[in-house]
Structure 1
Amino acid sequence: MKLPSLKEIEVFVKAHELEGLKILHLSDIHINKKTSLKNIQDLVTLCNLCEVDFVVITGDIIDCKVKYILDKLKVLNSIEKKVFYISGNHDLFYGFEELKPLLENFILLDNETYFLKYKNAKIALAGLGDRFSKFFKIKREENKVINFLSAYENSIFLAHQPKDYKFALKANAKLFLCGHTHGGQIYPFHYVVRLFQPFLAGLFYIKQTAIYVNKGLGYWGIDFRYKANSEITLLKLTSKSVE
Protein backbone atom coordinates (compact mmCIF):
# COMPACT_ATOMS: atom_id res chain seq x y z
CA MET A 1 0.00 0.00 0.00
CA LYS A 2 1.67 3.18 -1.23
CA LEU A 3 0.19 6.49 -0.13
CA PRO A 4 -1.05 8.61 -3.03
CA SER A 5 -1.10 12.39 -3.10
CA LEU A 6 -4.09 13.95 -1.40
CA LYS A 7 -6.97 14.40 -3.83
CA GLU A 8 -9.22 17.42 -3.27
CA ILE A 9 -12.78 17.56 -4.63
CA GLU A 10 -15.56 20.10 -4.30
CA VAL A 11 -18.96 18.52 -3.69
CA PHE A 12 -22.17 20.44 -4.27
CA VAL A 13 -24.84 19.94 -1.60
CA LYS A 14 -28.20 21.66 -1.38
CA ALA A 15 -27.62 22.87 2.16
CA HIS A 16 -26.02 26.26 2.80
CA GLU A 17 -25.39 25.26 6.44
CA LEU A 18 -22.79 22.75 5.21
CA GLU A 19 -20.84 25.30 3.20
CA GLY A 20 -17.11 24.74 3.71
CA LEU A 21 -17.39 21.44 5.62
CA LYS A 22 -14.26 19.35 4.98
CA ILE A 23 -14.26 15.56 5.19
CA LEU A 24 -11.22 13.31 4.73
CA HIS A 25 -12.54 10.16 3.05
CA LEU A 26 -10.58 6.90 3.36
CA SER A 27 -11.73 3.48 2.23
CA ASP A 28 -10.50 -0.07 1.62
CA ILE A 29 -7.19 0.24 3.44
CA HIS A 30 -6.87 -3.58 3.45
CA ILE A 31 -4.19 -3.78 6.13
CA ASN A 32 -2.51 -7.20 6.04
CA LYS A 33 0.73 -8.87 7.08
CA LYS A 34 2.58 -7.34 4.11
CA THR A 35 1.46 -3.79 4.87
CA SER A 36 4.41 -1.84 6.23
CA LEU A 37 4.12 -0.15 9.60
CA LYS A 38 5.67 2.97 8.07
CA ASN A 39 2.83 3.26 5.55
CA ILE A 40 0.29 3.25 8.37
CA GLN A 41 2.35 5.78 10.32
CA ASP A 42 2.52 8.00 7.23
CA LEU A 43 -1.24 7.68 6.77
CA VAL A 44 -1.89 8.72 10.36
CA THR A 45 0.50 11.67 10.01
CA LEU A 46 -1.36 12.81 6.89
CA CYS A 47 -4.72 12.53 8.68
CA ASN A 48 -3.44 14.48 11.67
CA LEU A 49 -1.96 17.27 9.56
CA CYS A 50 -4.96 17.60 7.25
CA GLU A 51 -7.23 20.55 7.99
CA VAL A 52 -10.56 18.73 8.01
CA ASP A 53 -13.61 18.62 10.25
CA PHE A 54 -13.60 14.84 10.52
CA VAL A 55 -12.45 11.60 8.88
CA VAL A 56 -14.57 8.75 7.51
CA ILE A 57 -13.46 5.22 6.65
CA THR A 58 -15.99 3.40 4.50
CA GLY A 59 -15.06 -0.20 5.24
CA ASP A 60 -12.45 -2.88 4.60
CA ILE A 61 -9.86 -1.71 7.08
CA ILE A 62 -8.35 -5.19 7.41
CA ASP A 63 -7.44 -7.99 5.03
CA CYS A 64 -6.21 -10.64 7.46
CA LYS A 65 -6.78 -11.76 11.05
CA VAL A 66 -6.20 -8.91 13.48
CA LYS A 67 -3.71 -10.91 15.57
CA TYR A 68 -1.18 -10.52 12.75
CA ILE A 69 -1.48 -6.73 12.50
CA LEU A 70 -1.95 -5.52 16.08
CA ASP A 71 0.92 -3.03 15.86
CA LYS A 72 -0.47 -1.46 12.68
CA LEU A 73 -3.99 -1.18 14.08
CA LYS A 74 -2.63 0.45 17.23
CA VAL A 75 -0.99 3.10 15.08
CA LEU A 76 -4.13 3.58 12.98
CA ASN A 77 -6.12 4.09 16.17
CA SER A 78 -3.92 7.11 16.98
CA ILE A 79 -5.55 9.40 14.40
CA GLU A 80 -6.25 12.56 16.38
CA LYS A 81 -9.21 13.75 14.31
CA LYS A 82 -12.73 12.45 14.94
CA VAL A 83 -13.07 9.28 12.86
CA PHE A 84 -16.33 7.61 11.79
CA TYR A 85 -16.24 4.15 10.24
CA ILE A 86 -18.41 1.28 9.06
CA SER A 87 -17.68 -2.37 8.31
CA GLY A 88 -16.74 -3.76 4.93
CA ASN A 89 -17.02 -7.33 3.69
CA HIS A 90 -13.35 -8.05 4.43
CA ASP A 91 -13.70 -6.74 7.98
CA LEU A 92 -16.58 -9.15 8.54
CA PHE A 93 -14.74 -12.07 7.01
CA TYR A 94 -11.52 -11.60 8.99
CA GLY A 95 -13.10 -10.75 12.34
CA PHE A 96 -14.96 -7.51 12.91
CA GLU A 97 -15.69 -8.33 16.56
CA GLU A 98 -11.94 -8.59 17.18
CA LEU A 99 -11.29 -5.37 15.24
CA LYS A 100 -13.77 -3.08 17.00
CA PRO A 101 -12.08 -2.93 20.44
CA LEU A 102 -8.76 -2.13 18.77
CA LEU A 103 -10.28 1.01 17.21
CA GLU A 104 -11.60 2.39 20.48
CA ASN A 105 -10.87 5.99 19.44
CA PHE A 106 -13.09 5.66 16.35
CA ILE A 107 -16.87 5.98 16.18
CA LEU A 108 -18.61 2.96 14.65
CA LEU A 109 -21.71 3.78 12.61
CA ASP A 110 -22.96 0.27 11.77
CA ASN A 111 -26.70 0.65 12.49
CA GLU A 112 -25.81 3.71 14.55
CA THR A 113 -26.63 7.41 14.50
CA TYR A 114 -24.65 10.43 15.56
CA PHE A 115 -25.04 14.21 15.76
CA LEU A 116 -22.14 16.44 14.85
CA LYS A 117 -22.09 20.21 15.32
CA TYR A 118 -20.67 22.29 12.48
CA LYS A 119 -20.68 26.06 12.99
CA ASN A 120 -24.34 26.69 13.89
CA ALA A 121 -25.67 23.57 12.14
CA LYS A 122 -26.40 20.10 13.43
CA ILE A 123 -25.33 17.27 11.09
CA ALA A 124 -27.01 13.87 11.32
CA LEU A 125 -24.71 10.95 10.49
CA ALA A 126 -25.65 7.31 10.19
CA GLY A 127 -24.31 4.15 8.62
CA LEU A 128 -24.96 0.55 7.73
CA GLY A 129 -22.62 -2.41 7.95
CA ASP A 130 -21.73 -4.22 4.75
CA ARG A 131 -24.35 -6.08 2.72
CA PHE A 132 -22.56 -9.34 3.60
CA SER A 133 -23.71 -8.88 7.20
CA LYS A 134 -26.57 -11.33 6.66
CA PHE A 135 -24.08 -14.15 6.09
CA PHE A 136 -22.67 -13.43 9.56
CA LYS A 137 -26.15 -13.30 11.12
CA ILE A 138 -25.86 -9.57 11.69
CA LYS A 139 -29.03 -7.59 11.04
CA ARG A 140 -28.84 -4.36 9.08
CA GLU A 141 -31.32 -1.86 10.46
CA GLU A 142 -32.15 -0.01 7.24
CA ASN A 143 -35.41 1.50 8.48
CA LYS A 144 -33.77 2.87 11.61
CA VAL A 145 -31.15 4.64 9.53
CA ILE A 146 -33.59 5.92 6.89
CA ASN A 147 -36.04 7.25 9.48
CA PHE A 148 -33.29 8.98 11.41
CA LEU A 149 -31.67 10.69 8.42
CA SER A 150 -35.04 11.64 6.92
CA ALA A 151 -35.86 13.70 9.99
CA TYR A 152 -32.94 16.10 9.53
CA GLU A 153 -32.07 18.59 6.83
CA ASN A 154 -28.29 18.11 7.02
CA SER A 155 -27.57 14.40 6.81
CA ILE A 156 -24.68 12.15 5.76
CA PHE A 157 -24.92 8.40 5.15
CA LEU A 158 -22.03 5.91 5.14
CA ALA A 159 -21.99 2.39 3.69
CA HIS A 160 -19.36 0.18 2.13
CA GLN A 161 -20.90 -0.69 -1.23
CA PRO A 162 -22.26 1.75 -3.83
CA LYS A 163 -25.39 -0.42 -4.08
CA ASP A 164 -26.61 1.11 -0.84
CA TYR A 165 -27.11 4.49 -2.49
CA LYS A 166 -30.83 3.63 -2.66
CA PHE A 167 -31.07 4.01 1.12
CA ALA A 168 -29.42 7.42 0.86
CA LEU A 169 -32.03 8.49 -1.69
CA LYS A 170 -34.90 7.20 0.46
CA ALA A 171 -33.55 9.18 3.40
CA ASN A 172 -32.94 12.31 1.29
CA ALA A 173 -29.37 12.32 2.61
CA LYS A 174 -27.31 15.23 1.36
CA LEU A 175 -24.20 13.08 1.02
CA PHE A 176 -23.53 9.35 0.59
CA LEU A 177 -19.98 8.04 0.98
CA CYS A 178 -18.84 4.52 0.06
CA GLY A 179 -15.99 2.46 -1.41
CA HIS A 180 -15.62 -1.26 -2.14
CA THR A 181 -15.02 -1.12 -5.91
CA HIS A 182 -11.31 -0.15 -5.89
CA GLY A 183 -12.25 1.62 -9.11
CA GLY A 184 -11.95 -1.78 -10.76
CA GLN A 185 -8.32 -2.07 -9.51
CA ILE A 186 -7.00 -3.56 -12.76
CA TYR A 187 -8.34 -2.53 -16.15
CA PRO A 188 -10.40 -4.05 -17.87
CA PHE A 189 -11.97 -5.53 -14.67
CA HIS A 190 -13.74 -2.17 -14.42
CA TYR A 191 -16.39 -3.63 -16.71
CA VAL A 192 -16.89 -6.64 -14.45
CA VAL A 193 -17.37 -4.43 -11.39
CA ARG A 194 -19.97 -2.38 -13.25
CA LEU A 195 -22.05 -5.53 -13.70
CA PHE A 196 -22.51 -5.67 -9.92
CA GLN A 197 -22.30 -2.03 -8.80
CA PRO A 198 -24.21 1.06 -10.01
CA PHE A 199 -21.10 3.28 -9.78
CA LEU A 200 -17.41 2.53 -10.28
CA ALA A 201 -15.64 5.55 -8.80
CA GLY A 202 -15.94 9.28 -8.36
CA LEU A 203 -18.67 11.84 -7.81
CA PHE A 204 -22.31 11.50 -8.84
CA TYR A 205 -25.52 13.42 -8.18
CA ILE A 206 -28.98 11.89 -7.98
CA LYS A 207 -31.95 13.99 -6.86
CA GLN A 208 -30.94 15.73 -3.60
CA THR A 209 -28.00 13.40 -2.89
CA ALA A 210 -24.32 13.75 -3.73
CA ILE A 211 -22.60 10.34 -4.00
CA TYR A 212 -18.86 9.76 -3.71
CA VAL A 213 -17.30 6.36 -4.45
CA ASN A 214 -13.73 6.17 -3.15
CA LYS A 215 -11.27 3.90 -5.03
CA GLY A 216 -9.59 3.03 -1.75
CA LEU A 217 -6.01 2.74 -0.58
CA GLY A 218 -5.23 -0.95 -0.57
CA TYR A 219 -5.39 -3.90 -2.90
CA TRP A 220 -7.47 -7.02 -3.19
CA GLY A 221 -5.92 -10.28 -4.40
CA ILE A 222 -2.65 -8.95 -5.81
CA ASP A 223 -0.66 -5.82 -4.93
CA PHE A 224 -1.25 -4.13 -8.25
CA ARG A 225 -3.44 -1.45 -9.80
CA TYR A 226 -3.82 -0.37 -13.40
CA LYS A 227 -5.92 2.61 -14.52
CA ALA A 228 -7.45 2.70 -11.04
CA ASN A 229 -5.07 4.64 -8.80
CA SER A 230 -5.49 4.46 -5.03
CA GLU A 231 -6.79 7.58 -3.33
CA ILE A 232 -7.10 9.61 -0.17
CA THR A 233 -9.72 12.25 -0.75
CA LEU A 234 -10.52 15.56 0.87
CA LEU A 235 -14.14 16.43 0.14
CA LYS A 236 -15.02 20.10 0.53
CA LEU A 237 -18.76 20.71 0.58
CA THR A 238 -20.21 23.76 -1.11
CA SER A 239 -23.72 25.03 -1.61
CA LYS A 240 -22.60 26.96 -4.69
CA SER A 241 -22.94 25.29 -8.07
CA VAL A 242 -19.85 23.29 -9.11
CA GLU A 243 -19.10 23.30 -12.82
Structure 2
Amino acid sequence: MKENIAINNLHKDMSGLKIAQISDLHVGPTIKKGYVESVVNEVNELNPDIIAITGDMVDGSVNYLAPHVEPLKDLHANIGTFFVTGNHEYYSGVDRWLDKTDQLGFTNLLDSHEIIKKGYGEITLGGVTDYRSSTIKSSHKSDAKLAFDNAPENIPKILLAHQPWSIYNAHEAGTDLQLSGHTHGGQFWPFVYPVRWANPYTAGLHDHDGTLIYVNRGTGYWGPPLRLGVESEITLITLDTKKQNSLTS
Protein backbone atom coordinates (compact mmCIF):
# COMPACT_ATOMS: atom_id res chain seq x y z
CA MET A 1 0.00 0.00 0.00
CA LYS A 2 1.40 3.39 -1.02
CA GLU A 3 0.22 6.67 0.49
CA ASN A 4 1.41 10.22 -0.22
CA ILE A 5 0.58 12.33 2.83
CA ALA A 6 0.82 16.11 2.92
CA ILE A 7 2.02 17.55 6.23
CA ASN A 8 1.58 21.18 7.24
CA ASN A 9 4.81 23.18 7.67
CA LEU A 10 6.92 20.39 6.20
CA HIS A 11 10.29 21.73 5.03
CA LYS A 12 10.91 21.19 1.33
CA ASP A 13 13.99 19.07 2.15
CA MET A 14 11.71 16.60 3.96
CA SER A 15 9.37 16.29 0.99
CA GLY A 16 9.75 12.78 -0.41
CA LEU A 17 10.83 11.24 2.91
CA LYS A 18 9.70 7.60 2.81
CA ILE A 19 8.35 5.75 5.85
CA ALA A 20 7.71 2.01 5.61
CA GLN A 21 5.17 0.97 8.24
CA ILE A 22 4.88 -2.58 9.56
CA SER A 23 2.18 -3.35 12.11
CA ASP A 24 0.67 -6.40 13.79
CA LEU A 25 3.14 -8.91 12.41
CA HIS A 26 2.14 -11.33 15.21
CA VAL A 27 5.10 -13.68 14.96
CA GLY A 28 3.93 -16.69 16.93
CA PRO A 29 2.15 -20.03 16.59
CA THR A 30 1.52 -19.79 12.83
CA ILE A 31 3.73 -16.90 11.64
CA LYS A 32 7.33 -18.07 11.63
CA LYS A 33 10.79 -17.21 10.33
CA GLY A 34 9.98 -17.76 6.64
CA TYR A 35 7.14 -15.24 6.68
CA VAL A 36 9.31 -12.74 8.57
CA GLU A 37 12.07 -13.11 5.98
CA SER A 38 9.60 -12.35 3.18
CA VAL A 39 8.43 -9.21 5.00
CA VAL A 40 12.02 -8.05 5.49
CA ASN A 41 12.80 -8.54 1.81
CA GLU A 42 9.68 -6.66 0.74
CA VAL A 43 10.37 -3.73 3.07
CA ASN A 44 14.01 -3.44 2.03
CA GLU A 45 13.02 -3.34 -1.63
CA LEU A 46 11.11 -0.13 -0.86
CA ASN A 47 14.38 1.60 0.14
CA PRO A 48 12.72 3.54 2.99
CA ASP A 49 14.27 6.37 4.94
CA ILE A 50 12.47 5.24 8.10
CA ILE A 51 10.91 1.93 9.13
CA ALA A 52 8.10 2.27 11.69
CA ILE A 53 6.95 -0.85 13.55
CA THR A 54 3.72 0.03 15.31
CA GLY A 55 3.33 -2.81 17.78
CA ASP A 56 2.06 -6.37 18.14
CA MET A 57 5.22 -7.75 16.60
CA VAL A 58 4.93 -11.00 18.56
CA ASP A 59 2.58 -13.47 20.22
CA GLY A 60 4.80 -15.38 22.61
CA SER A 61 7.93 -15.29 24.72
CA VAL A 62 11.45 -14.33 23.69
CA ASN A 63 12.60 -17.87 24.53
CA TYR A 64 10.11 -19.32 22.07
CA LEU A 65 10.25 -16.77 19.27
CA ALA A 66 13.79 -15.34 19.23
CA PRO A 67 14.90 -17.41 16.20
CA HIS A 68 11.79 -16.40 14.27
CA VAL A 69 12.24 -12.63 14.75
CA GLU A 70 15.99 -12.75 14.04
CA PRO A 71 15.53 -11.84 10.33
CA LEU A 72 14.24 -8.43 11.47
CA LYS A 73 17.84 -7.45 12.21
CA ASP A 74 18.31 -7.31 8.43
CA LEU A 75 15.74 -4.53 8.00
CA HIS A 76 17.48 -1.55 6.42
CA ALA A 77 16.41 2.08 6.44
CA ASN A 78 18.53 5.08 5.51
CA ILE A 79 17.78 6.77 8.85
CA GLY A 80 16.65 3.98 11.16
CA THR A 81 14.02 1.53 12.40
CA PHE A 82 11.70 2.68 15.19
CA PHE A 83 9.47 0.51 17.39
CA VAL A 84 6.52 1.07 19.72
CA THR A 85 4.79 -1.54 21.83
CA GLY A 86 1.38 -3.02 21.13
CA ASN A 87 -0.88 -4.77 23.60
CA HIS A 88 0.47 -8.21 22.71
CA GLU A 89 4.02 -7.31 23.78
CA TYR A 90 2.66 -6.92 27.31
CA TYR A 91 1.11 -10.39 27.23
CA SER A 92 4.50 -11.84 26.22
CA GLY A 93 7.01 -10.23 28.61
CA VAL A 94 7.46 -6.64 27.50
CA ASP A 95 10.81 -5.95 29.18
CA ARG A 96 12.51 -8.90 27.55
CA TRP A 97 11.01 -7.99 24.20
CA LEU A 98 12.30 -4.43 24.50
CA ASP A 99 15.75 -5.86 25.20
CA LYS A 100 15.35 -7.98 22.08
CA THR A 101 14.27 -5.09 19.87
CA ASP A 102 17.34 -3.21 21.11
CA GLN A 103 19.46 -6.17 20.01
CA LEU A 104 17.73 -6.17 16.62
CA GLY A 105 18.90 -2.58 16.13
CA PHE A 106 15.57 -0.81 16.62
CA THR A 107 15.11 2.50 18.43
CA ASN A 108 12.39 1.96 21.03
CA LEU A 109 10.13 5.00 21.42
CA LEU A 110 8.61 4.65 24.89
CA ASP A 111 6.75 7.93 25.38
CA SER A 112 9.77 9.60 23.82
CA HIS A 113 10.92 11.16 20.56
CA GLU A 114 13.81 11.58 18.16
CA ILE A 115 14.57 14.50 15.84
CA ILE A 116 14.83 13.34 12.24
CA LYS A 117 16.92 15.50 9.90
CA LYS A 118 17.17 15.55 6.13
CA GLY A 119 19.08 18.40 4.53
CA TYR A 120 17.87 21.55 6.27
CA GLY A 121 14.55 19.97 7.19
CA GLU A 122 13.48 18.35 10.46
CA ILE A 123 10.55 16.43 11.90
CA THR A 124 9.93 15.14 15.39
CA LEU A 125 9.23 11.39 15.42
CA GLY A 126 7.56 10.38 18.67
CA GLY A 127 6.19 7.14 19.98
CA VAL A 128 3.91 6.06 22.81
CA THR A 129 3.53 2.74 24.54
CA ASP A 130 0.31 0.81 23.95
CA TYR A 131 -2.87 2.68 24.83
CA ARG A 132 -3.57 0.40 27.82
CA SER A 133 0.04 -0.35 28.74
CA SER A 134 -0.13 1.28 32.18
CA THR A 135 -2.57 -1.40 33.38
CA ILE A 136 0.27 -3.93 33.11
CA LYS A 137 3.40 -1.77 33.52
CA SER A 138 2.74 1.41 35.48
CA SER A 139 5.82 3.26 34.19
CA HIS A 140 4.49 3.05 30.62
CA LYS A 141 2.11 6.01 30.44
CA SER A 142 1.09 6.05 26.74
CA ASP A 143 1.19 9.84 26.79
CA ALA A 144 1.79 11.81 23.58
CA LYS A 145 2.43 15.01 25.53
CA LEU A 146 5.18 13.22 27.44
CA ALA A 147 6.52 11.77 24.19
CA PHE A 148 6.90 15.25 22.70
CA ASP A 149 8.17 16.89 25.90
CA ASN A 150 10.86 19.47 25.01
CA ALA A 151 10.40 18.85 21.28
CA PRO A 152 10.77 21.90 19.01
CA GLU A 153 7.49 23.73 18.50
CA ASN A 154 7.98 24.78 14.90
CA ILE A 155 8.55 21.44 13.14
CA PRO A 156 6.01 18.72 12.25
CA LYS A 157 5.23 15.98 14.77
CA ILE A 158 4.65 12.38 13.69
CA LEU A 159 3.53 9.90 16.35
CA LEU A 160 3.77 6.11 16.33
CA ALA A 161 0.94 4.69 18.44
CA HIS A 162 -0.33 1.12 18.23
CA GLN A 163 -4.01 1.77 18.89
CA PRO A 164 -6.12 4.34 17.03
CA TRP A 165 -7.59 5.36 20.40
CA SER A 166 -4.39 7.34 21.01
CA ILE A 167 -5.57 9.91 18.44
CA TYR A 168 -7.39 12.01 21.07
CA ASN A 169 -4.26 12.40 23.20
CA ALA A 170 -2.16 12.85 20.06
CA HIS A 171 -4.40 15.69 18.88
CA GLU A 172 -4.10 17.43 22.25
CA ALA A 173 -0.31 17.14 21.97
CA GLY A 174 -0.25 18.93 18.61
CA THR A 175 0.52 15.88 16.50
CA ASP A 176 0.38 16.34 12.72
CA LEU A 177 0.24 12.63 11.77
CA GLN A 178 -0.33 9.47 13.81
CA LEU A 179 0.59 6.03 12.45
CA SER A 180 -1.32 3.15 14.03
CA GLY A 181 -2.38 -0.46 13.57
CA HIS A 182 -4.18 -2.82 15.99
CA THR A 183 -7.45 -3.20 14.06
CA HIS A 184 -6.19 -5.49 11.25
CA GLY A 185 -8.74 -3.62 9.14
CA GLY A 186 -11.25 -6.07 10.62
CA GLN A 187 -9.14 -9.02 9.24
CA PHE A 188 -12.11 -10.87 7.80
CA TRP A 189 -15.80 -10.33 7.16
CA PRO A 190 -18.07 -9.98 9.10
CA PHE A 191 -15.78 -9.01 12.01
CA VAL A 192 -14.94 -5.75 10.26
CA TYR A 193 -18.22 -4.35 11.63
CA PRO A 194 -17.58 -4.84 15.39
CA VAL A 195 -14.00 -3.66 14.85
CA ARG A 196 -15.35 -0.44 13.33
CA TRP A 197 -17.66 -0.06 16.30
CA ALA A 198 -14.84 -0.61 18.81
CA ASN A 199 -12.27 1.77 17.28
CA PRO A 200 -12.44 5.42 16.20
CA TYR A 201 -10.72 4.54 12.89
CA THR A 202 -10.30 1.11 11.31
CA ALA A 203 -8.10 1.46 8.22
CA GLY A 204 -6.60 4.03 5.89
CA LEU A 205 -6.10 7.79 6.18
CA HIS A 206 -8.42 10.05 8.17
CA ASP A 207 -8.47 13.64 9.41
CA HIS A 208 -9.23 13.94 13.13
CA ASP A 209 -9.92 17.64 13.71
CA GLY A 210 -6.74 18.58 11.87
CA THR A 211 -4.57 15.69 13.06
CA LEU A 212 -4.10 13.06 10.37
CA ILE A 213 -4.17 9.37 11.30
CA TYR A 214 -3.19 6.42 9.12
CA VAL A 215 -4.25 2.95 10.29
CA ASN A 216 -2.31 0.03 8.80
CA ARG A 217 -4.44 -3.08 8.12
CA GLY A 218 -1.84 -5.43 9.59
CA THR A 219 1.24 -7.06 8.10
CA GLY A 220 0.42 -10.44 9.63
CA TYR A 221 -2.72 -11.79 11.26
CA TRP A 222 -3.99 -12.88 14.65
CA GLY A 223 -5.98 -16.01 15.40
CA PRO A 224 -7.17 -17.99 12.38
CA PRO A 225 -4.57 -17.91 9.57
CA LEU A 226 -6.84 -16.20 7.07
CA ARG A 227 -7.96 -12.78 5.90
CA LEU A 228 -11.18 -12.38 3.91
CA GLY A 229 -11.84 -9.09 2.15
CA VAL A 230 -8.98 -7.38 4.01
CA GLU A 231 -5.48 -7.81 2.59
CA SER A 232 -2.35 -7.76 4.73
CA GLU A 233 -0.36 -4.58 4.42
CA ILE A 234 3.09 -3.04 4.38
CA THR A 235 2.57 0.69 3.97
CA LEU A 236 4.97 3.01 2.15
CA ILE A 237 4.19 6.56 3.22
CA THR A 238 5.81 9.42 1.32
CA LEU A 239 5.68 12.82 2.98
CA ASP A 240 4.63 15.71 0.78
CA THR A 241 4.36 19.48 1.07
CA LYS A 242 1.69 20.28 -1.49
CA LYS A 243 -0.64 17.37 -2.23
CA GLN A 244 -4.24 17.44 -1.03
CA ASN A 245 -4.78 14.31 1.04
CA SER A 246 -7.15 11.61 -0.23
CA LEU A 247 -8.99 10.48 2.89
CA THR A 248 -10.53 7.05 3.41
CA SER A 249 -14.32 7.16 3.34
TM-score (norm 1): 0.91
Report the aligned-residue RMSD. 1.7
TM-fit CA distance, 1:147: 4.0
5+ unaligned residues in a row in structure 1: which ranges? 1-6
> 1:26, 1:58 within 8 Å by CA — same for their partners in 2?
yes
TM-fit CA distance, 1:154: 1.5
**Helix, strand or coil for the counterpart of 1:215?**
coil
The CA distance in 1 between the partners of 2:181 and 2:155, in whole Å, is 24
TM-fit CA distance, 1:65: 1.7
> 1:154, 1:174 within 8 Å by CA — same for their partners in 2?
yes
The partner residue of 1:227 within 219, 226, 229 is 229
Following TM superposition, the consecutive aligned residue runs of length 4 or more in structure 1 with deviations greater than 3 angstroms are: 146-150
Larger deviation, residues 84-93 vs 39-48: 39-48
Larger deviation, residues 134-143 vs 88-97: 134-143
What letter matches 1:140 in structure 2?
Answer: K
The CA distance in 2 between the partners of 1:42 and 1:191, in whole Å, is 30
Identity %: 32
Q: How many residues align?
A: 237
TM-score (norm 2): 0.89
The partner residue of 2:76 within 76, 80, 84 is 80
For residues 148 and 202 of structure 1, do their structure 2 counterparts lie closer, same or farther at Cα, with a shift above 3 Å needed?
farther
5+ unaligned residues in a row in structure 2: which ranges? none
TM-fit CA distance, 1:78: 2.4
Partner of 2:208: 206
Partner of 1:34: 30
Larger deviation, residues 77-86 vs 136-145: 136-145
For residues 50 and 70 of structure 1, do their structure 2 counterparts lie closer, same or farther at Cα, with a shift above 3 Å needed?
same
The partner residue of 1:90 within 88, 91, 114 is 88
> 1:86, 1:110 within 8 Å by CA — same for their partners in 2?
yes
> 2:130, 2:142 within 8 Å by CA — same for their partners in 1?
no
Partner of 2:128: 128
> 1:33, 1:69 within 8 Å by CA — same for their partners in 2?
no
For residues 164 and 63 of structure 1, do their structure 2 counterparts lie closer, same or farther at Cα, with a shift above 3 Å needed?
same
Larger deviation, residues 142-151 vs 94-103: 142-151
The partner residue of 1:67 within 63, 66, 75 is 63
What letter matches 2:29 in structure 1?
Answer: K
Larger deviation, residues 164-173 vs 140-149: 140-149
What letter matches 2:174 in structure 1?
Answer: N
What letter matches 2:126 in structure 1?
Answer: A
Partner of 1:160: 162
Deviations 1:173-214 (A, max 9, x none): 221100000001111211111222100100012343221000
